[in-house]
Amino acid sequence: MQKIVKSRSKKRGLPPGSLVHIGEKKRETAIISLIEYSENSFEKRQLMPDELPGLNYNSETTKWLNVEGLNEIDVLAKIGEVLDIHPLVMEDILNTDQRPKIEVYDNYMYISAKMLSFDNEDEDNEFIIEQVSFILGSNYIVSFSERDTEVFEPVMKRLEQGLSRARKLNTDYLVYCLLDIIVDDYFDILENLSETIETAEDEMVSHTTEKTLLTINKLKRQVLFLHKAVWPLRDVLSSLERGESSLIKESTDIYIRDLYDHVIQVMDTTETLRDILSGMMDVYLSSASNRMNEIMKVLTIISTVFIPLSFIVGVYGMNIQNMPELNWYWMYPVLWLVMILIALTMLLYFKKKKWW
């Protein structure tokens, strides 16, 4: 289960800019992949940390450094040193509890987002939330993820096959492609959540159980995490759309606007799901209350019927000797007949009043 707030105790007392990984350890070692391409060339290979300073980051080819794993602090510190990235930015990259944000510097731009995917090994069908960070330079981009970034494979394949516009355009378009992949996964999450919610609604109509309540609570939690991931991304894309940095070219604006519209659509759908789940919770509570009222009504009717019967039985159970009717031969069956008539009369009266 996803934690709402991750532990920050390791950073207590440290100065700003201290590199400390906050979050779950999802890889033992960091893997650095270099995708270097131009309009007419493409190359992909793995790098060792010692090779980072020897790369020419000002060449005409575009370089994409894909870093998988945030546990090796020394490796990330070397990347920050080579590219002259501000320590506070590196601190945000290692803080996986960071909200999606954008920060513009003189020579580069920092963007963070949340990547969502379903955990296939989890029987409860929980989704995994991971932080992805991007450093966007004039002719290079560095992506940082907590574990393997299989989600970016389609972009790499299009680059390798020469089918992507990124081979001709600048690095800002590549960042758009990566963010677009992340947002597309949001729609997959929404589709799955919608189907689960529809199934829960059908269960509520037919038969409401405690399992239904657990399902609603789990769905509300998932929608909450989805909302937390998507809402700040709107501000990130809005800032990119406004063109606050020269790194974002005019040719990419139309794609960013389209991506912004997709995020707004995800947000609207998320709000709709939140309202549906709130309504389902109200319906469940009302159903439980009505069921309890029905039970209490039956018990009240039974208790009311037995009030006069208990009175009669109590009167003739006082063991008083001078009750003349006690010596009558037919007293016992007559007493039973009177009590049965009283009970039937009261039940017929309640039925006429539609109290049961």
Instruction: With a cut of 60, say whether residue 1 has pLDDT above it.
Output: no
Instruction: Please give the average per-residue pLDDT across 202-209, as a whole number.
Output: 73
**C-alpha to C-alpha distance for 105 and 84, rounded to whole angstroms:** 11
Q: Which of 54, 90, 97, 45 lies closest to 72 in space, CA to CA?
A: 90
Neighbours of 158 (CB within 10 A): 15
Q: Let me know if 112 is exposed, middle or buried by CB neighbors in 10 A (0-12, 13-18, 19+).
A: buried
pLDDT band at residue 22 under the 50/70/90 scheme: confident
- Residue range 191-219: average pLDDT? 81
pLDDT, one tens digit per residue, over 110-151 is: 999 998 887 766 566 677 888 899 999 888 899 998 877 778
pLDDT in tens, 167-200: 778 888 889 899 999 999 889 888 888 888 888 8
Q: Three-class SS of residue 113?
A: strand
CA 68 distance to own-chain centroid: 23
Domains and CATH numbers, the chain: 16-286 (3.30.460.20), 295-352 (1.20.58)
Q: In this structure, are residues 109 and 245 in contact, taking their beta carbons and an 8 Å threshold?
A: yes
Amino acid identity for residue 221 in this structure: R
Of 203, 230, 198, the C-alpha closest to 127 is 230
DSSP state of 137: -
Share of the chain above pLDDT 70, in %: 90
